[in-house]
Structures are given as structure tokens and as C-alpha cells.
């Protein structure tokens, strides 16, 4: 009588572990495809700044290292947009209303990637910049060291 229960528990445990691995793999695949797209371009501070100019709509926050790869989709922050301007300012909008203005510059991360430096500090703009010009997508992320990624779509 004890053996069938042990087998059932073993099958349940193995199945749940396999499901968790598949779930995490999905985030890593998405990150990898975006990274592959980013690496099609040779980025320097000038090309990065030029690609960032425009309006970006927040789409998703993904924290792949948290339990179950926590994700916040567009519905929770509807209307957040950032207008990156060539004059060194970023304007934050919520439902087309100006919320705040920031100054920005680019900082190099390990000679391969760039990040925003904003004054005042803004969490949704902090992290390594991964740009995919092909689909107009920007990932500002810290998942490479256990943080979250903020995903944006270019709208203008």
C-alpha cells in the first residue's frame, strides 16, 4: 500500500520540477532573442543615443529570478510612456499627461552595453539597455544580476 503513494509522490515531484524548468526557459529564450537582435548592431554612445530618441511605451516588467518568474503586464501600468529627447531630457507621461522631467546621459557598462543615468533617479529607467531596432523594442534590465527587466515599445 505504501509503494503506490510513493510512486505518485515521485511522479508529482518530477512533473512539477519539469514544469518549473520549462517556465524559466521561456523567459531566458525571450531575453536571448532580444539580445541576439541587439547584437546585430555595433553600438557606441552615439548610435545608442540616436536609437533611444523618441517615445517609448512601457509594456511589461519581468523579474525572471523571482519565484515563478514574476511578470507585470501592460494592464497594470497602462499609459506610462517616456519621451527621450536629443536635448538630454526625458519626459515621463501617464495617460498623455506630463508627470515629470529628467535629465539623462549614457554610461558604459563593461564596454559592451550602455545604461541611462537620470536626474532625478527613476527606477523604470535603470539598467542595461538592450535595443532591438528591428521591432522597436527596448529592454532596460538588471536580470543579468538577479534584478528585473522593464520592456518598452517605441511608439514615435
Does 6 have pLDDT greater than 90?
no
pLDDT confidence tier of residue 123, bands split at 50, 70 and 90: confident
In this structure, what DSSP letter does residue 120 have? S
Do the domain assignments include residue 5? no
What average pLDDT does the segment 113-128 reach? 93
The pLDDT score that the predictor gives to residue 13 is 52
If one compares 17 and 89, the residue with the highest pLDDT of the two is 89
If one compares 74 and 57, the residue with the highest pLDDT of the two is 57
For residue 150, the enclosing domain spans: 45-154
| Angle, CA 30 vertex, CA 35 and CA 27 arms, to 5° | 125
What average pLDDT does the segment 114-133 reach? 93
pLDDT confidence tier of residue 17, bands split at 50, 70 and 90: very low
Q: Tell me the pTM.
A: 0.72
Residues 117 and 105 sit within 8 Å (Cβ to Cβ): yes
Question: 56: domain CATH number?
Answer: 2.40.128.270
pLDDT in tens, 36-50: 899 898 899 999 999
In this structure, what DSSP letter does residue 124 have? G
Sign of torsion over alpha carbons 15, 18, 20, 26: negative
What's the total number of domains in the chain?
A: 1
Do the domain assignments include residue 32? no
Residues 143 and 65 sit within 8 Å (Cβ to Cβ): yes
Residues 140 and 123 sit within 8 Å (Cβ to Cβ): no
In this structure, what DSSP letter does residue 118 have? E
Do the domain assignments include residue 26? no
- Grid coordinates in use for 68? 515563478
H-assigned helices in 55-135: none
Amino acid at each position: 500500500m505504501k509503494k503506490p503513494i510513493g510512486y505518485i509522490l515521485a511522479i508529482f515531484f518530477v512533473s512539477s520540477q519539469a514544469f518549473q524548468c520549462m517556465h524559466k526557459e521561456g523567459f531566458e529564450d525571450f531575453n536571448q532573442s532580444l539580445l541576439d537582435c541587439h547584437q546585430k548592431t555595433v553600438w557606441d554612445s552615439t548610435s545608442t543615443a540616436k536609437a533611444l530618441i523618441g517615445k517609448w511605451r512601457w509594456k511589461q516588467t519581468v523579474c525572471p529570478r523571482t519565484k515563478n518568474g514574476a511578470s507585470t503586464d501592460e494592464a497594470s501600468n497602462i499609459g506610462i510612456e517616456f519621451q527621450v529627447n536629443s536635448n538630454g531630457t526625458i519626459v515621463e507621461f501617464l495617460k498623455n499627461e506630463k508627470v515629470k522631467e529628467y535629465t539623462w546621459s549614457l554610461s558604459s557598462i563593461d564596454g559592451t552595453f550602455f545604461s541611462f543615468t537620470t536626474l532625478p533617479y527613476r527606477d523604470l529607467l535603470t539598467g542595461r539597455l538592450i535595443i532591438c531596432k528591428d521591432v522597436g523594442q527596448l529592454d532596460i534590465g538588471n536580470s543579468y544580476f538577479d534584478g528585473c527587466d522593464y520592456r518598452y515599445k517605441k511608439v514615435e
